[in-house]
Amino acid sequence: MKNHLLLALVAFSSLASPLIAADDPPPTGEEILKLVRLSNALQNYKLTGSLRDSSSGKSEAFTLNMEQNIMRFRFSNPNLIVHLDQTTTPASLKTVQPGGSGAVPLSKYGEKVRGFAINYEDLSMRFLYWPGAKLLGEESFKTQKCWKVRVSSPDSATPYGTVDLWVHQASGGMAKMEAFDLKGKLAKRFEVGKIQKVDGATILKEMKIESYSAGSSKSDGRTYMTLDNPERN
């Protein structure tokens, strides 16, 4: 069973058996990221959810459609569709909105989406395709065993220089992510909080997304993403 590309944003599957046997050698960093990239656990589903800023209390609803390796985040007032195509390598991102539509240029990947602590780089998850992934070892996150993998940007066309991923060993899904800017300072942290069970899969219920200013250990923005029970398209 495979897991969804945007598990850090959306979902991961519960497996009936471990991904590797106890006596197998640990997978490489590249092999672990491939488990995440090849995910399609929740194809042909529609989800409703919301983004909430913890400081201002601002909240905005959205719908998320997943079908044939295409994900569409839909917002209203004003209307905006963020369209992620996972059939390309790496996945490609475009927006559809009044007054203009088209591919999101790399220069804008660091911009916030709807003013929340999540940007276009986070939605595209291009770092899952960066070469040279390294397995740093094993760490537990909320009592669950995870592989910790580090990837480094091959160029400067990104707000992140290095990204650390905690990948759940039992499912292959991302449980946590920390992104560092081009100077090595913490810029973003994702943590999966609440989860829910749907059709044999473990689905995200709530995720905390925190942004950091360069050189600061204190978050300057915190957004919670929550998702309701998914429906079949």
Token code pair at residue 120: 């276009």
The structural domains of the chain, ordered by start, are 11-129+192-232 (2.50.20)
228 close to 47: Cβ distance less than 8 angstroms: yes
- Tell me the sheet residues that pair with 224: 52, 208
Alpha-carbon distance of 1 to 16, in angstroms, equals 9
Cβ neighbours of residue 108 closer than 8 Å, sequence gap 6 or more: 120
Q: Report the predicted TM-score, pTM, of the whole model to 2 decimal places.
A: 0.81
pLDDT (tens, 9 = 90+) of the chain, 233 residues, equals 233 334 334 444 333 334 555 567 889 999 998 877 765 445 677 889 999 999 899 999 999 887 877 888 999 999 999 998 878 877 788 999 988 889 999 888 889 999 999 999 888 888 888 999 999 999 999 888 999 999 999 888 889 999 999 988 877 778 899 999 999 999 999 998 887 776 666 667 888 999 998 767 888 889 999 988 777 76
φ and ψ at residue 183, rounded to 5 degrees: -100, 5
> If you search the block for the tokens 């091959």, which residue do you land on?
154
